């Protein structure tokens, strides 16, 4: 009689197993520098101030005002991602600089005053080169993320606005400009921090990302715009009820609330759960 292979020791290791699922990308942390932490809190306030100061002009001429404020919004978002967020593919930065180890043996040529001067000039040139390399390593992803935002995210938001009730045959310029504002608010930081990672974007579309400043601001933008559409059909006969004024201000307010709320200890790292089954799956992934 043939021996039972399944009961032999080590047989289970030869059986094929399904590959493990790729773990989800962790929440994005604000960079630990003092400037990043201060500006990450001041940034939502600046965006709200920008919207509040231009409210009357937006009501008077929405198209003109949406065009004139879009460059300012873009600059603020680019500055925010460069200063406060790690670019995609970068390792978590602790921003702790240890002093370079001193040479055990110093040559006689470099021990004199002239050698120290040459060493100081060389160190300054190297420091300037490192600073420019660091700036470029953040500026280039920011520009690429902005390009993808206008090329990909703006058409997506335009279609979503139409599907959720925006006029199809009229107010086309207002629809596209409102979509551009929402795209810059929500997608710029997502693309900068995660690139085109398929797993991350599947979680974005499935509303399954762990809460952080990037995902919270994007989700808050969409929810704020959705809630901002509520006053439009009401018969209050107010000039600010015209499309897309309330939607745009809802997106700005939702961005600020989502960005700040998602960084609190009660929300950070948590996921939106729809069923108990999803909760158990999330716990398995985190463990």
Return the ∠ at Cα 246 (arms to 243 and 247), rounded to 5°.
80
DSSP state, 150?
I
Share of the chain above pLDDT 70, in %: 72
Contact 219, 187 (CB under 8 A): no
* Tokens encoding 110: 């470099």
Mean predicted confidence (pLDDT) in 203-221: 94
Q: Phi and psi for 20 in degrees, rounded to 5? A: -65, 145
pLDDT in tens, 88-140: 877 554 433 333 444 444 444 444 555 555 555 555 555 555 555 677 778 99
Burial string for 213-238 (b: 16+ CB within 10 Å, else e) reads bbbbbbbbbbbbbeebbeeeeeeeee
pLDDT in tens, 249-280: 999 999 999 999 999 999 999 998 766 554 44
**Lowest mean pLDDT across 90-94, 181-185, 202-206, 264-268:** 90-94
User: For residue 174, what are the CA distances in angstroms to 55, 56, 224?
Assistant: 15, 16, 18
pLDDT for 126: 58
pLDDT for 39: 96
What's the rounded Cα separation, in Å, for the pair 237 and 239?
7
Q: How confident is the model at residue 64 (pLDDT cuts 50, 70, 90)?
A: very high
- Is the confidence at residue 4, as pLDDT, over 80? no
């Amino acid at each position: 009689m043939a021996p039972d292979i399944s009961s032999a020791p080590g047989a289970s290791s030869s059986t094929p197993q399904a590959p493990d699922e790729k773990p989800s990308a962790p929440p994005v942390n604000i960079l630990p520098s003092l400037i990043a932490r201060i500006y990450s809190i001041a940034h939502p306030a600046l965006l709200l101030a920008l919207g509040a100061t231009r409210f009357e002009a937006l009501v008077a001429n929405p198209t003109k005002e949406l065009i004139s404020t879009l460059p300012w919004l873009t600059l603020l978002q680019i500055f925010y991602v460069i200063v406060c967020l790690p670019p995609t593919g970068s390792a978590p930065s602790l921003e702790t600089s240890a002093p370079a180890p001193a040479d055990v043996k110093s040559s006689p040529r470099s021990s004199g005053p002239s050698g120290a001067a040459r060493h100081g000039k060389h160190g300054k040139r190297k420091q300037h080169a490192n600073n420019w390399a660091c700036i470029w390593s953040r500026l280039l992803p920011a520009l690429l993320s902005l390009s993808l935002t206008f090329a990909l995210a703006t058409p997506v938001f335009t279609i979503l606005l139409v599907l959720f009730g925006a006029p199809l045959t009229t107010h086309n310029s207002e629809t596209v400009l409102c979509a551009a504002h929402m795209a810059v608010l929500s997608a710029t930081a997502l693309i900068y921090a995660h690139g085109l990672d398929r797993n991350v974007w599947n979680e974005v579309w499935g509303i399954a990302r762990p809460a952080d400043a990037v995902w919270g601001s994007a989700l808050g933008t969409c929810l704020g715009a959705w809630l901002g559409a509520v006053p439009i059909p009401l018969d209050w006969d107010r000039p600010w009820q015209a499309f897309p004024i309330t939607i745009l201000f809802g997106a700005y307010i939702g961005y600020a609330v989502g960005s700040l709320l998602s960084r609190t200890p009660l929300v950070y790292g948590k996921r939106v759960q729809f069923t108990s089954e999803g909760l158990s799956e999330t716990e398995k992934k985190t463990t």
